[in-house]
């Protein structure tokens, strides 16, 4: 997914899968709410990872004046948009009197509210160094952010190196383990197999 400056992937949740992401470029701000009322706001830079368990509402925003780019991976091979629910699609089907009563606001507040899913929304461009305001929100017991490439490599070999993060280092990530593998020119990850897990790979030429 790529987001242009000032663009937000609106608050949404996935009913069928957890979401794991690796940031390639730019800065991303995520806002997450868990089923117990906890909320967390985090900023991500290239090399950072997030994990959102199934059913946890979250939004994704581009910070600064440059686009952001990240890879999204879901832990269910049958994931689709039919199992994803957006806040505008949900509230857009509620009547204005109901929304006014629910939020304690005048009905006119919702005059321009979308009647269908917005998916992406655009607003003022926030500065890249904007400080997230947690305010009175209660943080979840486990963070949803891990700075993968800021860590020492998990292992270093003659022709490459590997970073790895799973639930042992990133406790919230109960269904996904992520690996970043750097191969030197001409390097080969020797023939191997995984007897207890499936694997999906994305090739990316990362700047040195």
For the cut 70, the answer to whether the pLDDT of residue 208 exceeds it is no
Which segments within the chain are labelled E, that is strand? 2-3, 7-14, 19-25, 27-33, 39-44, 48-52, 58-63, 68-74, 84-86, 120-122, 145-147, 155-157, 160-165, 178-183
Using one digit for the tens of pLDDT, what is the confidence trace for 46-66? 999 999 999 999 999 999 999
Tens digits of residue pLDDT in 84-110:
999 999 899 999 999 999 999 999 999
User: How far apart (Å, rounded) are the C-alpha atoms in residues 145 and 40?
Assistant: 10
Rounded-to-integer distance, Cα 170 and Cα 47, Å = 15
Residues known to be catalytic: 9, 12, 14, 19, 58, 81
Which pLDDT value is given to residue 133?
74
Arithmetic mean of pLDDT over the chain: 92
CA 62, CA 7: separation in Å to the nearest integer? 6
Q: Quick: pLDDT tens for 192-202.
A: 999 988 888 88
Q: pTM value?
A: 0.90
Indicate whether 207 pLDDT > 80: no
Tell me the average pLDDT across 162-172: 96
Query: What per-residue confidence (pLDDT) applies to 135?
Result: 66
């Amino acid at each position: 997914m790529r987001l242009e400056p000032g663009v937000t992937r609106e608050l949404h949740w996935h009913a069928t899968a957890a979401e794991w992401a690796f940031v390639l470029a730019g800065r991303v701000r995520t806002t997450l709410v868990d089923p117990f009322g906890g909320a967390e706001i985090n900023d991500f830079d290239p090399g950072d990872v997030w994990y959102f368990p199934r059913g946890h509402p979250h939004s994704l925003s581009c910070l600064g004046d440059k686009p952001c780019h990240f890879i999204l991976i879901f832990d269910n091979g049958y994931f689709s948009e039919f199992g994803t629910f957006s806040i505008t699609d949900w509230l857009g089907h509620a009547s204005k009197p109901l929304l006014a009563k629910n939020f304690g606001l005048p009905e006119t507040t919702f005059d321009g509210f979308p009647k269908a899913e917005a998916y992406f929304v655009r607003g003022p461009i926030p500065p890249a160094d904007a400080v997230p305001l947690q305010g009175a929100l209660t943080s979840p017991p486990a963070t949803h952010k891990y700075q993968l490439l800021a860590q020492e490599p998990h292992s270093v070999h003659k022709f490459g190196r590997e970073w790895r993060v799973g639930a042992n280092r990133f406790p919230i990530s109960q269904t996904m383990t992520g690996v970043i593998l750097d191969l030197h020119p001409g390097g080969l990850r020797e023939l191997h197999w995984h007897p207890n897990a499936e694997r999906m790979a994305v090739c990316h030429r990362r700047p040195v």
